Amino acid sequence: QRVKNANSMEGLKLLAISSSNADAHFQQLDKLRTVYEEYVKLSNEAIPSTERNLKELAEELQNKIVAFED
């Protein structure tokens, strides 16, 4: 009975360690998910919008340069 209880306790300790490790991995993945979602948002929204604005400003500057030279 004592041996069986000792084995059960050892099994519970190992299970607790595995559970703790799994929880730590889950937390890391959750943090990475947040970073990835922000990256996707930047890739799909902010970067293209900024590129359009930059192109418009460059065209506006070019038009002003041409007008100034005339």
Supply the pLDDT for residue 1: 73
5 has pLDDT over 80: no
Beta-sheet strands, E only, within 1-70: none
Instruction: Give the pLDDT confidence of 14-69 residue by residue, as tens digits.
Output: 999 999 999 999 999 999 999 999 999 999 999 999 999 999 999 999 999 999 88
| Residue reference for tokens 């604005």 | 53
> How many helices and strands in the chain, by DSSP H and E?
2, 0
- The band of 7, judged by pLDDT with boundaries at 50, 70 and 90, is confident
Distance CA 15, CA 12 (A): 5
Entry field: residues in the chain: 70
